């Protein structure tokens, strides 16, 4: 059973992780590449447990469940 909210959260985390890796942690570059306003991208990163200042990986308490999926 995979609720929509959970699936969306997994997608967002994976997308943001890849986006920030491609942008090498540069928030402005990530915003340009994703076509998301920088302030909205920062908010999305924070909501998904990322360090929005440098694009660090999600905090442990919000880490992806890929190992169990």
Find out whether 64 and 58 touch, Cβ atoms under 8 Å.
yes
pLDDT at 16: 97
Quick check: 47 and 36 in contact, CB under 8 A?
no
Please report, in tens digits, the pLDDT of each residue of the chain (69 residues total).
Answer: 679 999 999 999 999 999 999 999 999 999 999 999 999 999 999 999 998 675 556 655 444 444 443
Per DSSP, which regions of the chain are E strands?
none
Report the pLDDT value the prediction gives residue 56, as an integer from 0 to 100. 59
Per-residue pLDDT at 2:
77
pLDDT value of position 51 = 86
3-state percent breakdown (helix, strand, coil) of the chain, nearest 5: 60, 5, 40
What 8-state DSSP symbol labels residue 62?
G
């Amino acid at each position: 059973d995979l609720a929509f909210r959970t699936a969306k959260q997994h997608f967002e985390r994976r997308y943001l992780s890849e986006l920030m890796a491609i942008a090498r942690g540069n928030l402005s570059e990530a915003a340009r590449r994703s076509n998301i306003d920088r302030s909205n991208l920062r908010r999305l990163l924070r909501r998904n447990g990322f360090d929005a200042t440098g694009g660090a990986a999600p905090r442990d308490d919000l880490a992806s469940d890929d190992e169990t999926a």
